[in-house]
Every structure is written in C-alpha cells, then in structure tokens.
Amino acid sequence: MSDAKIALQEGAHFIGFVFVDNVTRKINESTAKQIIKEIKIAQKFDSPLKFVGLFANQQINTINHIIKECELDYVQLCGDESPSLWKSIDAQVIKQLRIPPTGKNNIDPEMIIRSAETIFSSGSTILIDSEVKGKLGGTGIQPDWNLASKISSEYPIILAGGLTPKNISDAILSVSPWGVDVSSGVESNNQKDPRKIVEFIQNSKKSKNLSRFL
C-alpha cells in the first residue's frame, strides 16, 4: 500500500496490479481491491490516476470479474491473446508487443510494425517490452530502442523493459514514448524501493517528450 501511495503522491498516472499466475509479483484480488479502495479515498478529485490489471492467457470471465470487483480502468495483456478477446474485455486494453533486445539480428521490423498497427487499429494501446524466451515480461532487459523508436514514430506507445531511474531520461529521449512502464527497475532485493520509485517518477517528469508513466 505504501508503494501505491508514494506513486500517487509523486504524480504517477497509472498503478499496475499483477494478476498473472505463477509470478513473484502476483497480487490476490482482495488485496488489490483494498489498495484501490484506499487510494481512491486518498487521491484528489481531479487526479488522473488510473488502475491497471496485468493478465496473461487467462479466461475472459476471470478477467472481467476482476475488472468489476477491483474497478480497474485498464487491462494489460501480456500473453498471446487474440484481437477477438481484446474486444470482449470490459476495460480499455493495453496490449504487450514483445520485440527483441538490442543486438539481435533475427528481427523482421516490418512484421513487428504490422503487429503494432493491428493493436492500434483495434483501439488498444501498444506496450513495447523485451522478447525473452520463456518469459512474459518483468525481465529487466531492454528491448531494441531503435526499433521501438520506429514504432513510436508511427503510433503512441508505452515503453517497458529494463527501465531504471538512471536510464529513463535516455530512454525517453531515444524512443519518445507516450508513456513508460516500470516494475523491477524500481526494486531492491525483489521488493519495491520507495527511493527508486520517487527518483524514477521525478526523472520521467523532467522530459517534455513524455505524457504518462506507470
């Protein structure tokens, strides 16, 4: 709860809750519901703060149930969900698009850009993360910023993957994303670090090229 309050106080626009099974950052529905309730009481009337639930390859009924119970504004899909499922979700959708890390040569930029266009044309928001075999996200590895920049020049994107308080300014300057997303980059010993959360948000705010941050 204290982490969410710090993010609120520093002016974050989104707070995410991981509902993905078998991951270390998973939160249960009742805890998330209580945190959101308390944050809504604490936040100012005109606060832009929105609540995001992270899911991966889960049943639509499960997703929509949690949306309703926790009063989520957005759902971030991190699995292999099809566009037909996106349209059945009772919240705005952020769809993860995984691209290879810098230095990988087996990249088909045109195919990836077409995937970005599919997400955008569906009315969903594109989230760029790093493609790591066997992982859905949270790897702390940077995606190819050059390719991310090409996508960002065509569509508004949220940039994730390997972002930290130290590199966030360079990331925003290089990619010009609409927003940024961080998790492991503001942790120490696998726990959220209040100092890093504050530093990350403050460094993000320094850039005029950024609209939102998670």
CATH of domain 2-213: 3.20.20.70
pLDDT band at 209 (very low <50, low <70, confident <90, very high): low
Burial class (CB in 10 A: 0-12, 13-18, 19+), 155: middle
pLDDT of residue 15: 94
pLDDT of residue 67: 98
Over residues 87-122, the pLDDT tens digits come to 899 999 999 999 988 766 667 888 999 999 999 999
Domain boundaries, the chain: 2-213
φ and ψ of 189, to 5 deg: 55, 45
pTM score of the predicted model: 0.91
Over residues 28-44, the pLDDT tens digits come to 999 999 999 999 888 76
Name the token pair of 61.
């009924």
213: pLDDT strictly greater than 60: no
pLDDT of residue 35: 93
153: pLDDT strictly greater than 90: yes
- For residues 186-212, average pLDDT: 84
Rounded distance between C-alpha atoms, residue 161 and residue 49, angstroms: 22
Tell me the pLDDT of the chain averaged across its residues. Answer: 89
CA-nearest of 197, 140, 141, 202 to 172 is 202
- For residues 188-192, average pLDDT: 89
pLDDT band at 134 (very low <50, low <70, confident <90, very high): low
Residues near 173 by Cβ (< 8 Å), separated by ≥ 6? 207, 209
